Structure 1
Amino acid sequence: MSELHVTVETSVPEPQIARFQAVYEEAFGPLRTTAAARQVLHPSEFRAEMVDPRIHKHVARLPSGEPIGVTTLTRCLETVPWISPEYFAARYPEHAARDAVFYAGFTLVAPGARHGAAFHVMIESVVRVLVAERAVVGWDICSYNNTRFSFADGIRAALDERASVDVAVEDSQIYYAARFTGNGATEGG
């Protein structure tokens, strides 16, 4: 892990945005057809997150300075359109009063570095912030990623290695579909 370092940035330079957008699309693009809720930011939304100073980017870098991963973290929950900041404020009033409620948006690692330490050094960087703040952090994982890749277990293990932390499921949403196949009781008669 020592060969990698993490910088915490409020804005990502334009050439790196394009690189991370491609990695993001590769990682999240397949979720368009495997998750009912929209999991993929539009390119303009992705770019907006990369330049929004309220969203901190924990960027894993090679010794050369080349970025190979990014994790987003914010305490400005209004920057995360798919969550309810009011929920977190009501659930964690003491943390909200201290401005210590965070949300982790996404984590990306370049394909050639996915089996290396990038994920772990970024999580370590994020955990340092959260421990220092005695914070609460939320994140979401779609059912597909949880079932197929056990992301929740992996994140919990990574957190447990680095801090004393209680992890709990906060909420879930189940999507339904009704496929109509006929008129039911009145069909045929």
Structure 2
Amino acid sequence: MSGLYVTVETTIPDDRIDLFHRLYEDAFGPLRAKAIARQVLRRDEFHAEMVDPRVHKHVARLGSGEPIGVTTLTRHLDTVPWISPDYFAARYPEHAARDAIYYAGLTLVAPSARQGAAFHAMIDSIVQVLVAERAAVGWDICSYNNTRFSFADSIRAMLDEQANVEVAVEDSQIYYVAQFTGDGATRGD
């Protein structure tokens, strides 16, 4: 993929959002049936994230300008509805005082480009920001992606190559399902 480059954009123009949404659906759509927690943003949520200037979009592009990947990064933690900004402020007070706590919301690469350099290029782009800010950054990976694709190990290896960094698991949520069978009689009756 010669000519690959990354742009950092605060908003994606309305006339380009459908293109980005197709990329998103290609990458995230299969997770609807693979992860118990909702991993796929609704179209209106996706649109809101693409036009919110507080959420920076690190866009991997081919030499032609065609987008093939995007990673979102924000220091405005209130834009990420599934996390607790209070947790980060309490855990990282020095970073909070400097407004240097970030969250990487989504990272996707078009399925046709997954074996290329786009993922690394986008991570390189956000690491430059994070190193310059001496930041703390959070992100999440669903169990399916982590087990199937070893995303946590890959990201940790990339971060270790680029910066003096400590990576730790901060929290986890385990989902349970009870499947009831039979006629409803209690055991021991």
Q: TM-score, normalised by structure 1?
A: 0.94
TM-aligned CA deviation for residue 91 of structure 1: 0.4
TM-aligned CA deviation for residue 26 of structure 1: 1.7
Which amino acid is 1:16 matched to?
R
Q: Provide the alpha-carbon RMSD of the alignment.
A: 1.4
Equivalents in 2 of 1:108, 1:33: separation in Å?
Answer: 18
TM-aligned CA deviation for residue 112 of structure 1: 2.2
Which amino acid is 1:123 matched to?
I
Equivalents in 2 of 1:56, 1:144: separation in Å?
Answer: 26
For 2:187, the equivalent position in structure 1 comes to 185
Q: How high is the sequence identity, in percent, across the aligned residues?
A: 75
Equivalents in 2 of 1:152, 1:103: separation in Å?
Answer: 15
Secondary structure at the counterpart of residue 70 of structure 1:
strand
- Taking the TM superposition and a 5 Å limit, the aligned residue runs for 1:1-189 are 3-181=3-181, 182-185=184-187, 187=189
Secondary structure at the counterpart of residue 59 of structure 1:
strand
TM-aligned CA deviation for residue 15 of structure 1: 3.4
Equivalents in 2 of 1:62, 1:173: separation in Å?
Answer: 37
Secondary structure at the counterpart of residue 140 of structure 2:
coil
144-153 vs 174-183, which moves further:
174-183
Which amino acid is 2:167 matched to?
V
Secondary structure at the counterpart of residue 3 of structure 2:
coil
CA contact (8 A) 2:2 2:63 kept: no
Q: TM-score, normalised by structure 2?
A: 0.94
Which amino acid is 1:141 matched to?
I
Which amino acid is 2:186 matched to?
G
TM-aligned CA deviation for residue 183 of structure 1: 2.1
Equivalents in 2 of 1:78, 1:168: separation in Å?
Answer: 22
Equivalents in 2 of 1:101, 1:143: separation in Å?
Answer: 24
TM-aligned CA deviation for residue 161 of structure 1: 1.3
Unpaired runs of 5+ in structure 1? Answer: none
Unpaired runs of 5+ in structure 2? Answer: none
Secondary structure at the counterpart of residue 147 of structure 1:
helix
Secondary structure at the counterpart of residue 8 of structure 2:
strand
TM-aligned CA deviation for residue 64 of structure 1: 2.1
Equivalents in 1 of 2:122, 2:2: separation in Å?
Answer: 12
TM-aligned CA deviation for residue 19 of structure 1: 1.3
